[in-house]
Amino acid sequence: MLVLEQIHTYYDRIHALKGVSLTVRQGEIVTLIGSNGAGKSTTLRAISGLIKPRLGRILLDGQPIDPLPAHAVMRLGISQSPEGRRIFARLTVEENLELGAFTRNDKPAIRADLERVLALFPRLRERLRQRGGTLSGGEQQMLAIGRALMSRPRLLLLDEPSMGLAPLLVEQIFRIVRSINEQGTTILLVEQNAHAALSIAHRAYVLETGTVVLEGPASEVLASSQVREAYLGG
């Protein structure tokens, strides 16, 4: 459903992505792993339309989406839980979730999806009236994922959902990610925690300084000596 063809992006003079190509098929969990600064978040920002590739194309169901502004990309069914969670700190948890459904007008269905998100993340229900900024890191991560789900995306982009979380919580988040996928949402997962990501993904791409150095089924990537050495601690 999503295809990136030879994407090049720049931050001022810095050549961040140097011809990244990848494909995400309907129903998959695809993970994009790599070390800090490899260009993982940049890839997601390019897909969402927050930065424009200088070269290359991004296609959703065969249609180019790279010329579109971010708010228009989101309306096509691609929603992102960004790096660093980016919760609206001064808005309540409920308002954050409602903003996730900003593009929708079907009130009863939004209500139902809110219930679905709260069922996934029961902790958020207790905090609905609290300001987003008062949540703990783990709760903010749940809110960021929940907020991204509120638009009923066809493709969910998750940027480092495990960052800064305790191991127990990481496990819980990954279990939820998998169950979101099982309910029919395609997922592109960016992670530094390569082991956890590879254990739930169908396919994987390994990014290094702006280029894809390895790709394949997650189990094969997990077994590859290259990845073992670089990201899994030997």
Spatial contact of 208 and 19, defined as CB atoms under 8 Å apart: no
Altogether, the residues listed in the chain come to a count of: 234
Least Cβ distance, residue 99 to another protein (angstroms): 5
Residues pairing with 196 in the sheet: none
- Interface residues toward another protein, by CB under 8 A: 48-50, 69-71, 74-75, 79-80, 82, 86, 88-91, 95, 98-100, 102-103, 147, 151
Least Cβ distance, residue 74 to another protein (angstroms): 4
Closer to another protein by Cβ: residue 13 or 90: 90
Spatial contact of 113 and 71, defined as CB atoms under 8 Å apart: no
Closer to another protein by Cβ: residue 3 or 91: 91
Burial 140-164 (b: 16+ CB within 10 A, else e): bbbbbbbbbbbbbbbbbbbbbbbee
CA atoms of 164 and 229, how far apart (whole Å): 23
Closer to another protein by Cβ: residue 70 or 200: 70
Closer to another protein by Cβ: residue 82 or 210: 82
Least Cβ distance, residue 191 to another protein (angstroms): 19
Least Cβ distance, residue 187 to another protein (angstroms): 16
Residue from 149, 167, 171 nearest 158 by CA: 149
